[in-house]
């Protein structure tokens, strides 16, 4: 939610940041079964989209791969959204805004080809559940998405 440099000059700064973060914290749906099994995947790389589709199948979820904003809204909110920071039609902050809009309150995860501290902080401040590097294989994506979305791996 925020970032503090170490070493801390004043512990009161840490307490203040924690109070602010807890005051604005939004309850998450981790650990509960979402009404939808659909995960909107905003990714224009076919190889990465395929890896994510396989990873989501390991979680018992189905991917709806989109390369930009959909022409027609889907029926009901998705279980989650996975968005590429480098999405051609909505780069960076625009991709985060698109993920929040499509998610309708569902958690979202950000992918980046090169994770920088600034990218991670921007995504987390925008409400992302987490950030992942784009170059993971399906099994690693499945493990990380399970952790970030609170969805157990399917048996």
Mean pLDDT of 105-125: 90
What ranges make up the beta strands (E) of the chain? 38-42, 62-66, 80-84, 108-112, 130-133
pLDDT at 57: 92
pLDDT at 30: 45
Supply the mean pLDDT for the chain: 83
End-to-end CA distance of the chain: 33
Mean pLDDT of 110-130: 90
pLDDT at 29: 45
Structure tokens at 105: 């309150």
pLDDT at 80: 92
Digit-coded pLDDT (tens) for 133-148: 988 898 999 999 988 8
Q: Higher-confidence residue: 20 or 116?
A: 116
pLDDT at 69: 76
Strand order across the 130-133 sheet: 62-66, 38-42, 80-84, 108-112, 130-133
Digit-coded pLDDT (tens) for 34-70: 568 899 999 989 999 999 999 999 999 999 998 877 7
Structure tokens at 100: 């929040």
Taken in order of first residue, the domains within the chain and their CATH numbers are: 35-149 (3.40.50.2300)
d(CA 102, CA 67): 13
């Amino acid at each position: 939610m925020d970032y503090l440099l170490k070493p801390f000059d004043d512990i009161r700064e840490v307490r203040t940041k924690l109070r602010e973060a807890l005051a604005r914290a939004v309850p998450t749906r981790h650990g509960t079964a979402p009404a939808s099994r659909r995960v909107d995947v905003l990714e224009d790389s076919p190889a990465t989209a395929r890896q994510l589709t396989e990873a989501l199948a390991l979680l018992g979820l189905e991917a709806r791969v989109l390369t930009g904003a959909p022409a027609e809204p889907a029926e009901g909110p998705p279980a989650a959204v996975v968005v590429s920071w480098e999405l051609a039609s909505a780069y960076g902050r625009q991709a985060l805004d698109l993920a929040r809009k499509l998610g309708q309150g569902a958690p979202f995860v950000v992918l980046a080809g090169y994770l920088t501290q600034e990218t991670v902080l921007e995504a987390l401040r925008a409400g992302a559940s987490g950030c992942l590097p784009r170059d993971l294989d399906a099994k690693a994506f499945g493990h990380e998405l399970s952790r970030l979305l609170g969805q157990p791996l399917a048996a």
